[in-house]
Amino acid sequence: MKAIVQDAYGSPDGLALREVDKPVIKDDEVLVRVHAASVHPDVWHVVHGRPYVLRLMGAGLLRPKNRVPGTDVAGHVESLGKDVTRFRLGDEVFGETFRGSQWRNGGAFAEYVSVPQDTLALKPANITFEQAAAVPTSGLIALQNLPEGRLRPGHKVLVNGAGGGVGSFAVQLAKAYGATVTGVDHKTKLDMVRSLGADRVIDYTQEDFTRSGERYDLIFDVPGNHAFADCRRALKPEGTYVLIGHDRFGDVGSRWLGSLPHFFRLMALSMFRSQLPKMSSSMPSKRDSMAVLKELLETGKLTPVVDRTFALGEVPEAIRYLTEGEARGKVVIVM
């Protein structure tokens, strides 16, 4: 099969389109014939091998363990492991290609990929393969950090980074829960953010939301470019601050640990500040979260935004395009 192959950590220019063997599936896996796959910032992290800690966390110490990047796919089921019960041959599916964190290669940038049955869901019939491939990682991050129950109708929510992959889902989720939503991003993305249902938009080059005098019930912060102490000015006393975190493709965070020290500081502070969510040990599984995303897509409460598509051989260009910050919503690879 054709696949994008990464022999070493470094620039996306080192990625090459080659002929490789088809993956061999385990008993609880399905072989997916990939129709579309998507790019997100963690793909950049694993291609570059930065922050270095990801190499110790399973990506591969000296070079990537799995040579084929990409974690998000949509396609159809080509063959089934002997323990697979949830899918049949020919089913149209979408999902992440592995359990656990996105800080490793998942084999999605290829004609075929093996995927555990529990990280997949049936693709909703009302969306295309390109749209479905745009959902998994970004949709899961948005959903798991903005679960139903955290918001009530009428709550005021601010989504910082509303025009990117995760933010575009967070805006729609907050609207689906009945919140009034303010989206913050670059001026070039604000029409798109409004089209997703945002009631108000802010151009971050013109206005600092932490100094506007407005107070929110929840701040969902993707770029994390303001200190928590500044964000508190824009939070109601009983409000919640949720940090997603974005290393801006290596521009912020340390080479070794990225933004992890910042997360650990906030986690420690959450013992003293009620506005910071406590670490939860009861995170819903990917299987359950994918089922929720599927239903939200089917009912039209979520619509993936695909900015641009690239061919499989153009993965390096697609990653570069994402890092340039032009993309509104998601960047997708089509086979």
Nearby residues of 270 by Cβ (< 8 Å), 6 or more positions away: 276, 277, 278, 279
> How far is residue 43's CA from residue 39's CA, in Å, rounded to a whole number?
6
Q: Measured from the CB of residue 21, what is the shortest distance to ligand NAP in angstroms?
A: 30
Q: Which of residues 167-196 bind ligand NAP (CB under 6 A)?
A: 167, 184-186, 189
| Residue choice 141, 201, 292, 306 for contact with ligand NAP (CB under 6 A) | 141
H/E stretch holding 54: helix 53-54
> How far is residue 232's CA from residue 211's CA, in Å, rounded to a whole number?
10
Number of residues that bind ligand NAP (CB under 6 A): 26
Q: Which residue's CB is nearer to ligand NAP, number 35 or number 246?
A: 246
Q: Which residue's CB is nearer to ligand NAP, number 184 or number 319?
A: 184
Residue 163 found at the interface with ligand NAP (CB under 6 A): yes
> How far is residue 115's CA from residue 130's CA, in Å, rounded to a whole number?
18
Closest-approach residue to ligand NAP (CB): 164
In angstroms, the Cα distances linking 237 to 7, 62, 129, 302 are 50, 47, 43, 30
In angstroms, the Cα distances linking 181 to 5, 60, 223, 293, 297 are 41, 40, 17, 20, 19
- Positions of E strands within 40-171: 72-80, 92-96, 112-116, 120-122, 156-160
Do residues 72 and 141 touch, judged by C-beta distance below 8 A?
no
Q: Measured from the CB of residue 165, what is the shortest distance to ligand NAP in angstroms?
A: 3
Residue 224 found at the interface with ligand NAP (CB under 6 A): no
Residue 22 found at the interface with ligand NAP (CB under 6 A): no
Residue 244 found at the interface with ligand NAP (CB under 6 A): yes
> What is the β-pairing status of strands 120-122 and 112-116?
unpaired
Q: Which residue's CB is nearer to ligand NAP, number 106 or number 167?
A: 167
Q: Measured from the CB of residue 192, what is the shortest distance to ligand NAP in angstroms?
A: 10
Q: Which residue's CB is nearer to ligand NAP, number 84 or number 198?
A: 198
Q: Measured from the CB of residue 56, what is the shortest distance to ligand NAP in angstroms?
A: 17
CA gyration radius for the chain? 19
Q: Which residue's CB is nearer to ligand NAP, number 115 or number 184?
A: 184
- For 26, phi and psi rounded to 5 degrees? -85, 175
Q: Which residue's CB is nearer to ligand NAP, number 81 or number 250?
A: 250
Do residues 41 and 3 touch, judged by C-beta distance below 8 A?
no
| Residue choice 40, 50, 67, 156 for contact with ligand NAP (CB under 6 A) | 40
Q: Which residue's CB is nearer to ligand NAP, number 118 or number 208?
A: 208
Judged by CB under 6 A, the stretch of 22-30, 37-45, 61-69, 278-286 that binds ligand NAP is 37-45
The footprint of ligand NAP (CB under 6 A) covers: 40-42, 102, 138, 141, 160-161, 163-167, 184-186, 189, 204, 222-223, 225, 244-247, 325
